[in-house]
Structure 1
Amino acid sequence: MMKRSLTRGAALAAALLALGGAAAGTAQAAEAPACAKEQLAYLEAEDKATTADNNADAARTKLDAANNDQKKLEQIEDTLDKTGDSLQRLFEVVDRTEKDVLTQAEFDDLRAIHKAAFEVSPKIEASDAAGVADIADKAVAAAERILNKVPEDSRGSFEYHDAKGWTERLKSNAVDARQATGAKDRTALAQDLTTAGNDARTAHEAVPPARTDLKTCLQNATA
């Protein structure tokens, strides 16, 4: 959006008012200054343009926040994938070194995490913050159950620390997702921004004619 210079606007307004005052010096004291109506119209046009710019900026800020919330939801899908993959690699390491330590229950938890990566997609598309967070929380619980069953001898492996790191990231993403409730308002906020932008353009288009009217009046008054 166009930013209006307050310093320039104030200086211009003062100069125009000074011209109007000079032209009015030859008139009766009870009469309005020359071009007072045009001066007021110009200043009002400037004020409306500034207000419209501020409204458009505020609309943009709200939409940016909503889009940021949507990105938080979208991040969950990738983190779920990475968490499931890292746990899969951990399974393979533990199975090679300590057979039958991870039971069917842990395999079921691993499958649930992989499944969650698919189930979360429609929730993300719907900008359902609570739904996304619920799926992520369940996946975190499943991942932690798996990690807790890993024997001490395998907890020094890269695979264990990698899986634990992704689980912690998923937990953090779930907290962010639950708070990303503004994502659902993106469509309405985008329309608000379009409206505010149109209003700002209309307000700015009204400034040049008002300036021209004032200039013409002052030229005639001082001729």
Structure 2
Amino acid sequence: MSARFEELDWSDTPMGEISLRRRREPTAGVDVFEVKLGDEFLMSSLFTVAERELAHLGLAELSKEEADVLVGGLGLGYTAQAVLADPAVRSLVVVEALDAVIDWHQRDLFPDTVGLASDPRTSLQRGDFFAMCDSEDGFVPSAPGRHFDAVLLDVDHTPRHVLHPSHARFYTPDGLRGLVRHLRPGGVFGLWSDGPPDAGFSEVLAAVFARSTAHTVSFPNPLTGGTSASTVYIAS
């Protein structure tokens, strides 16, 4: 039996104090890994269905035998892990703003995603996804202008509830047009959101992309005994 609570790592970052904790969840009888930024809970290993579905739904839109994928936001690694499980994925670049999060994966601190960082298809890129998106060079400094078949983003809580004010512009037509520059023809954009479908953001997607859909992803919530839901937006 593991200890009921353990702080695995803590560091001060430009975005605030970030901590990685493991605790025993008695209602589910499992160890839960959680990340906090300041006073906000960013993610939990207790709820990963929607993060995985971001990868599944996004890659389902591609009809290529070999795909180059970019994930914005490493987190606990569930989206990246689901991407790598697709045999069509040739390469995966994960852009993460915080060195500490990259270090957690390089040290294999999460039992569910052990080996993610060492997969030969994976490149963990330290950087600000939103600033890189606005730049001509794009997301890979060693390969300026590199394009991707799919870009999957899981950083902010929702398009309206962002972690930093500088992120807000991305969720506008101009911001998303900047992203399109980094996609190959027929490329796919996917976004995780911790909330119900937002009609206003769906209109923004429709103004930029030929096709877009808001998928409601439901999953059991052992803390409430009921069901919770997130939204995955897919546009191409």
Q: TM-score, normalised by structure 1?
A: 0.20
Instruction: Looking at secondary structure, tell me which structure has more strand per residue.
Output: 2
Larger relative contact order (Cα-Cα within 8 Å, sequence gap ≥ 6) = 1
**Counting helix residues as a fraction of each chain, which structure ranks higher?**
1
Larger Rg: 1
